[in-house]
């Protein structure tokens, strides 16, 4: 990947054109995901460092500005695609300093009475109120849906990068599984660490809010988030018991490359699959195929969900559908559009999706195999397979 693509990914031109065609005189983003999308600097700690209020102001006619605490200024300059950085002195959770810094930039960029689109679903209430007080002559309006639609359809470099990170993650999972021996098994935790290490070896990053490496076998495979909430705030870790012969084991991995994410899950069978395990995995493949055959530009997200539901009913499969059967991916591993019952978003060419039908195994295991696909005018194409996942991974028995 060349440096220009790493820095811009076609985002600057895309955003500038979109703002020129919008109702806004300027766009102000506050949410960590939207800020990262616009400025290009992957700073995962922004999701939980509420005192580090970082924003991007993008005027209709003018140069975008990143507004951030002084201690983040050099990071934004070196990691991001926006050249104009306006820093301020952050003092704890007080929003006034950030609001004043925004107000100074806004007044330089637009005239009084300007309409400013802001991601109201991301901005903390205290900061929003401070912005209203600091900019009484401006009109702040919700820009959430506009930003969502902007991010859903990827540029060609974005699609290439998402394909790279998905393929590298799949390669890493397979690399770790090459070392699994049925007769001499590792613990679930050790195998999760091996997956993580193999991702690092392929240049992927696992730092921050979204990253996870998890392996679940035995009783823990019966839960979407094993060990939660046994350990309080921990939302899911691998167990310390050894993988056992005959188990269907679920491996999950989220990693990132240049700020764009993978969301992978694969199935390992510890030994030759039983007839029941073969049937379970065949059912999973059938649901995946039904979704792939239904996806195309112009199809709605809930239509894909319905196609998976119909296929499950025809085969007598119990579909675990509470979370839908897939979702978009980009600067976060879980974003619009959603292949869910209540999402009627129309799919468009250039969207990147993770297909994620979830079913039960013969021992009530949660069985899933996530696949990253790119939507085209006539269908979609899988971009993440290092191995042919029409079969589970079966390791060697003994050396």
Q: Where in the chain is the domain with CATH 3.40.350.10?
A: 3-152
Is-contact 326 380, C-beta < 8 A?
no
**Pairing state of beta strands 115-118 and 358-360?**
unpaired
pLDDT greater than 50 at residue 394:
yes
Helices H / strands E in the chain, number of each = 11, 18
User: Across residues 360-364, what is the average pLDDT?
Assistant: 95
Closest CA to 253 of 355, 342, 150, 369: 369
Beta bridge partners of 265: 252
pLDDT digits (tens, 9 = 90+) for 111-131: 999 999 999 999 999 999 999
33/2: higher pLDDT: 33
Gap between the Cα atoms of 398 and 49, Å rounded? 48
pLDDT digits (tens, 9 = 90+) for 267-289: 999 999 999 999 999 999 999 99
Predicted pLDDT at 236: 57
Instruction: Tell me how far CA of residue 180 lies from CA of 276, 340, 385, in angstroms.
Output: 22, 35, 20
- Tokens for 259, please give them: 């700020």
User: Across residues 83-105, what is the average pLDDT?
Assistant: 90
- Tokens for 47, please give them: 């999701």
Residues 104, 109, 113, 114, CA torsion sign: negative
Q: Where in the chain is the domain with CATH 3.90.230.10?
A: 156-382
pLDDT greater than 50 at residue 4:
no
pLDDT greater than 60 at residue 43:
yes
Residues 90, 95, 98, 103, CA torsion sign: negative
pLDDT digits (tens, 9 = 90+) for 330-346: 999 999 999 999 999 99
**Number of other residues whose CB lies within 10 A of the CB of residue 255:** 28
Is-cis flag, bond preceding 226, omega within 30?
Answer: no
CATH 3.40.50.170 is right for the domain spanning 156-382? no
Gap between the Cα atoms of 126 and 123, Å rounded? 8
Gap between the Cα atoms of 26 and 200, Å rounded? 39
Gap between the Cα atoms of 371 and 78, Å rounded? 33
Predicted pLDDT at 231: 53
pLDDT greater than 80 at residue 398:
no
User: Across residues 37-52, what is the average pLDDT?
Assistant: 87
pLDDT greater than 50 at residue 313:
yes
- Please give the helix or strand (H or E) that residue 148 lies within, else none: helix 144-152
pLDDT greater than 90 at residue 256:
yes
At the topology level, CATH places domain 3-152 in Creatine Amidinohydrolase; Chain A, domain 1 (3.40.350)
């Amino acid at each position: 990947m060349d440096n220009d693509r790493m820095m811009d990914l076609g985002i600057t031109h895309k955003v500038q054109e979109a703002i020129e065609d919008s109702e806004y005189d300027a766009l102000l983003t506050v949410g960590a995901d939207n800020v990262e999308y616009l400025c290009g600097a992957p700073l995962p700690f922004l999701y939980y460092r509420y005192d580090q209020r970082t924003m991007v102001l993008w005027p209709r006619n003018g140069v975008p500005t990143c507004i951030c605490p002084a201690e983040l200024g050099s990071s934004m300059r070196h990691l991001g695609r926006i050249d104009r950085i306006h820093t301020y002195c952050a003092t704890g959770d007080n929003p006034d300093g950030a609001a004043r810094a925004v107000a100074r930039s806004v007044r330089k960029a637009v005239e009084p009475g300007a309409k400013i689109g802001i991601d109201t679903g991301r901005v903390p209430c205290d900061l929003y109120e401070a912005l209203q007080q600091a900019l009484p002559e401006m009109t702040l309006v919700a820009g959430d849906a506009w930003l969502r639609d902007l991010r859903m359809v990827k540029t060609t470099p974005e699609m290439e990068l998402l394909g790279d990170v998905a393929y590298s993650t799949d390669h890493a999972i397979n690399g770790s599984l090459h070392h699994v021996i049925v007769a001499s098994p590792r613990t679930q935790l050790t195998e999760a660490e091996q997956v993580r290490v193999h991702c690092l070896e392929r240049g992927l990053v696992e730092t921050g809010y979204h990253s996870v490496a998890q392996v679940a076998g035995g009783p823990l495979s019966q839960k979407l988030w094993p060990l939660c909430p046994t350990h309080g705030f921990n939302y899911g870790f691998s167990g310390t018991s050894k993988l056992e012969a005959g188990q269907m084991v679920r491996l999950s991995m989220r990693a990132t490359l240049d700020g764009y994410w993978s969301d992978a899950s694969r199935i390992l069978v510890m030994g030759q699959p039983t007839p029941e395990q073969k049937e379970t995995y065949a059912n999973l493949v059938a649901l995946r195929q039904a979704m792939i055959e239904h996806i195309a530009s112009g199809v709605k997200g809930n239509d894909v969900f319905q196609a998976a539901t119909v296929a499950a009913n025809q085969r007598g499969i119990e579909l675990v559908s509470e979370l839908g059967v897939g979702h978009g991916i980009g600067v976060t591993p879980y974003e619009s559009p959603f292949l869910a019952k209540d999402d009627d978003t129309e799919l468009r060419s250039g969207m990147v999706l993770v297909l994620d039908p979830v079913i039960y195994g013969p021992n009530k295991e949660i069985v899933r195999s996530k696949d990253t696909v790119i939507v085209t005018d006539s269908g979609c194409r899988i971009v993440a397979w290092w191995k042919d996942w029409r079969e589970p991974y079966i390791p060697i028995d003994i050396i």
